[in-house]
Chains A and B, each alone.
Chain A
Amino acid sequence: MEAVQRFFRHSVLSYKALFGWLDPKVYIFVMVLNPFSQLLFFAVLVNYVYGGEGLAGYIASNALLLCVMNSVFGIMSVITSDRGMGTLQLVMSTPSSKAPLFISRSLAHVVNGMFTAVMGLLFGILLFGLSIPFDALLSLLVIWLVSIFSACGLGLIIATFCLWSPSMHMWSNLLASLLLLVSGANYPLSVMPAWLEQVAVFMPLTRGVRLTKDIVNQGDFSQMATLLGQEFLLGCLFFAISLVLIAYAEYLARVKGTMDLE
């Protein structure tokens, strides 16, 4: 029980310490206004191009995208924040296992991502006067949790790069751009070329976005079990790879002396 309490305590403490929570203006700009403006931009764009067809699905997909990006960026920022504050070496040299350590430090960011996504979805629904049935909302919650789990696995893999690479912003933006493009959140999946579909199979979010659109636009739940199962397995695979990579990146950081590089 003490271990579980420590896990959550650590999560809250590291979030407060590393995110600059002392200044609410930064939080409002980065975690509220920026995601909302992104959601609004794509909502206005797809509403114009597709004449309002399937708009609710696009808005819900973009809310999911924001949620995932916030969670993944949060995981990545844990390592770079520690590096910026000069505490990364202390964290890496503790005798504790690194996987639960980083997962607990990421947890608050996942919760924060969910909060932003729900706010974003409400914002989009109110602004465009859309309606989503209550049973669809419950299904969306499950789909989003599994999608976040899967995306966080990939985020943790990329986060390990930050131990040997000084370019965290580049890696995180590359991942964000890739997810934005490949997920199909802003266009019908039918326009995606076959080669990109092959890439999309191995990316988190693709199935989450497809299910979100199916459920919100057509009330179609038929693919839910299959696609969610695939997404969960993909997430497990990502986490397994990330555990190996954390150990390898830790070794690389020690050998190359790059742990504190900015």
Chain B
Amino acid sequence: MMRAFMHTAKVQMGLSIARPMFKFVIVVNPLFLATLAFFIYGGSSPERVFQYVVLGSGFMALWSSIVYSSASEVQRERFYGTLELLFVAPVSFAAILIGKIVGNMIWGLISMVIAFLYLVLFFRIEVPAVQPMLFFGSFALVLIAISVFSFFLALAFTLSRQTNALMNFIEYPIYLVCGFLFPITILPDWVKPISYLLPPTWAIELLRRATDENATWSQLALPFSFLLGLVLVYIGFGYVCYRAVEHKARINGKLGVY
């Protein structure tokens, strides 16, 4: 199982980056997003620039990479005609799908790093002295949360017949509702509950607090707890969707049908 998982992640990395559009999303898009965010926030304080330009555009790059890879991964296999083969393989389909998501997540991480280095080196943005334990602990949870959310999205999109339309649609609403480039406190009250139910909202909030020079565990407790809770909830949602896809495949025989 572990071997299949590792190989899937490795093969997925090669398959994803072979697509010119994904190359653009990983390498070029972060530069555009970072530049645009910097121009918009150019006159703000260094703290604000770091929180909204560096973290915000890095997260936008990560989210774009997920939208153009993991969210549509099952649909892509369906298009290639290989979905049925993966589904009947002796290794669990869930392990293969998680391997694919991890492979894509590594590219998303590289995309974030490209945005970060570009802003720091090219625009000379000041980087706060973060506390390594707090930052890397939070960052690990953020990556797990985004992976679980991607797993849920990939399966939820598989159940829909409008994967491509949803894939094209979902990018900006998440930027907006999850407050990647601004605090969600400015959003209307009726939108906030939606924001609170989405893991990216707490993920970016956690990173903003974790990159504060004077951050303490108690300051991180709220976003950390909510994010951890949402990870568990979305694992549950992911499991339900997985069973629904399996049901569709075995009972209705409609796995490879659009």
Given contacts A29-B162, A49-B44, contact A170 B176 (CB under 8 A): no
Contact assessment for A37 and B172 in the assembled complex, using a CB-CB cutoff below 8 Å = yes
Contact assessment for B40 and A34 in the assembled complex, using a CB-CB cutoff below 8 Å = no
**Which residues of A, 165-186, contact B by the 8 Å Cβ criterion?**
166-167, 169-170, 173-174, 177-178, 180-181, 186
- Nearest residue (CB) in B for A172 is B21
Contact assessment for B43 and A167 in the assembled complex, using a CB-CB cutoff below 8 Å = no
Contact residues of A: prevailing secondary structure:
helix
* A87, CB-defined interface residue at 8 Å: no
Given contacts A33-B169, A37-B173, A40-B176, contact A169 B42 (CB under 8 A): no
Q: When A and B form their complex, what is the total count of cross-chain residue pairs whose Cβ atoms lie within 8 Å? A: 79
**Which residues of B, 22-39, contact A by the 8 Å Cβ criterion?**
23-25, 28-29, 32, 35-36, 39
Contact residues of B: prevailing secondary structure:
helix
Contact assessment for B162 and A25 in the assembled complex, using a CB-CB cutoff below 8 Å = yes
Contact assessment for B40 and A45 in the assembled complex, using a CB-CB cutoff below 8 Å = yes
* A41, CB-defined interface residue at 8 Å: yes
Contact assessment for A48 and B186 in the assembled complex, using a CB-CB cutoff below 8 Å = yes
Contact assessment for A49 and B40 in the assembled complex, using a CB-CB cutoff below 8 Å = yes
Contact assessment for B24 and A45 in the assembled complex, using a CB-CB cutoff below 8 Å = no
* A125, CB-defined interface residue at 8 Å: no
Say which residue of B29, B168, B176 sits within 8 Å of A177 (CB atoms).
Answer: B29
Contact assessment for A34 and B182 in the assembled complex, using a CB-CB cutoff below 8 Å = no
Contact assessment for B36 and A37 in the assembled complex, using a CB-CB cutoff below 8 Å = no
Say which residue of A30, A40, A174, A178 sits within 8 Å of B165 (CB atoms).
Answer: A30
* A187, CB-defined interface residue at 8 Å: yes
What is the bound-complex CA distance between A238 and B176, given in angstroms?
35
Say which residue of A25, A170, A174, A180 sits within 8 Å of B36 (CB atoms).
Answer: A180
Contact assessment for A46 and B40 in the assembled complex, using a CB-CB cutoff below 8 Å = yes
- Nearest residue (CB) in B for A49 is B40
* B181, CB-defined interface residue at 8 Å: yes
Chain B CB within 10 Å — which of A26, A167, A177, A178 has the most?
A: A177
Given contacts A34-B169, A49-B41, contact A167 B176 (CB under 8 A): no
* B20, CB-defined interface residue at 8 Å: yes
Say which residue of B43, B176, B181 sits within 8 Å of A37 (CB atoms).
Answer: B176
What is the bound-complex CA distance between A169 and B29, given in angstroms?
13
What is the bound-complex CA distance between A262 and B125, given in angstroms?
41
A195 → chain B, closest Cβ, in Å?
Answer: 12
What is the bound-complex CA distance between A33 and B182, given in angstroms?
21
A51 → chain B, closest Cβ, in Å?
Answer: 11
Known: A29-B162, A181-B36, A186-B36. 5 other contacts (CB 8 A): A25-B165, A26-B162, A26-B165, A37-B176, A180-B36
Which residues of A come within 8 Å of B, CB atoms? 25-26, 29-30, 33-34, 37-38, 40-41, 44-49, 166-167, 169-170, 173-174, 177-178, 180-181, 186-187, 191-192
Which residues of B come within 8 Å of A, CB atoms? 20-21, 23-25, 28-29, 32, 35-36, 39-44, 162, 164-166, 168-169, 172-173, 175-176, 181-183, 186-187
